């Protein structure tokens, strides 16, 4: 479940039909990228279609949350050998530079320590930590892509990035128990670009808010769904 709706639904489409459709999408996207992406080599672009003839639908499985007092299952969709895994890896590479531009960007805990050393302490300051609940499943694809499109500079490469994100986020089919399922809502789980996509979306939304409240913040950093504010 997610946001009051089923996250996944069973579909009647034949596996062979889906595989062919996703393969065609991948090859067509690769042809466009060969013309539009001037920042990476032809060899690096081949990651999009690498082993495409042997790739399959994503696989679903569960991991037990052994750190919880009550045992629960964490749903996992594996995109390792998925047909859209190449597009997703290409997207992840290109989204990283946009993520690093965000004011809330945090590389790791070492960077946070360095950033805090530059903060002059004041008795009036308050420290806030937070965790974004259901971050991936709460992101609506159309709203996210619309916000990201306004943030990215307008050029052919970024147009390709947006199209690639739409392909990955709206075609998350997977196999489970001999049946085909489709992810209806939220960020496509298990795909390589999911963290970068979610971080970029939330970071852009934060920047729009912080423009109004900037004077109240001494520092604001977030690593995926874990935030730290002063």
Q: Which residues contact 136 (CB under 8 A, 6 or more apart)?
A: 186, 187, 189, 194, 198
> Which pLDDT score, from 0 to 100, does residue 5 have?
52
- Taking only the tens place, the pLDDT of each residue in 46-80 is 999 999 999 999 998 888 888 778 878 888 888 88
List the domain range (segments joined by +) for residue 91.
8-229
Considering the entire predicted model, what is its pTM? 0.88
Per the structure, the count of domains in the chain is 1
Alpha-carbon dihedral sign for residues 194, 134, 205, 150: positive
Residue 171 pLDDT > 90: yes
Question: Across residues 147-157, what is the average pLDDT?
Answer: 94
Please say if the pLDDT value at position 32 is more than 90.
yes
In-domain check, residue 2? no
Task: Give dist(CA 36, CA 39) in Å, integer.
Answer: 9
Q: Residue 3 domain-assigned?
A: no
pLDDT-derived band of residue 18, with 50, 70 and 90 as boundaries? very high
Calculate the CA 158 to chain-centre distance: 16
- Residue 1 inside a domain? The answer is no
- What's the pLDDT at 1? 36
pLDDT at residue 2, as a whole number: 42
Tokens 């943030």 locate to 151
Q: 227 φ, ψ to 5°?
A: -115, 155
Give domain status of residue 175, yes or no: yes
133 part of a folded domain: yes
Structure token digits, residue 42: 């032809």
């Amino acid at each position: 479940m997610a946001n009051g709706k089923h996250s996944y639904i069973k579909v009647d489409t034949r596996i062979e039909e889906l595989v062919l459709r996703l393969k065609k999408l991948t090859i067509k996207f690769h042809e466009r990228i060969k013309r539009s992406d001037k920042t990476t080599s032809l060899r690096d672009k081949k990651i999009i279609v690498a082993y495409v003839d042997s790739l399959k639908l994503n696989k679903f499985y569960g991991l037990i949350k052994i750190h919880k007092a009550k045992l629960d299952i964490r749903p996992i969709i594996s995109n390792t050998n998925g047909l859209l895994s190449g597009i997703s890896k290409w997207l992840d590479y290109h989204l990283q530079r946009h993520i690093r531009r965000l004011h809330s960007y945090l590389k790791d805990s070492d960077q946070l320590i360095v950033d805090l050393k530059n903060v002059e302490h004041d008795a009036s300051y308050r420290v806030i930590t937070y965790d974004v609940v259901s971050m991936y499943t709460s992101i609506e694809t159309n709203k996210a892509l619309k916000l990201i499109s306004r943030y990215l500079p307008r050029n052919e490469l970024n147009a390709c990035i947006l199209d690639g994100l739409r392909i990955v986020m709206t075609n998350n089919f997977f196999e489970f128990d001999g049946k085909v399922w489709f992810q209806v809502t939220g960020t496509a789980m298990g795909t390589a670009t999911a963290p970068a996509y979610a971080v970029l979306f939330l970071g852009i939304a934060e920047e729009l808010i912080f423009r109004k409240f900037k004077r109240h913040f001494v520092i604001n950093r977030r690593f995926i769904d874990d935030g730290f504010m002063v």
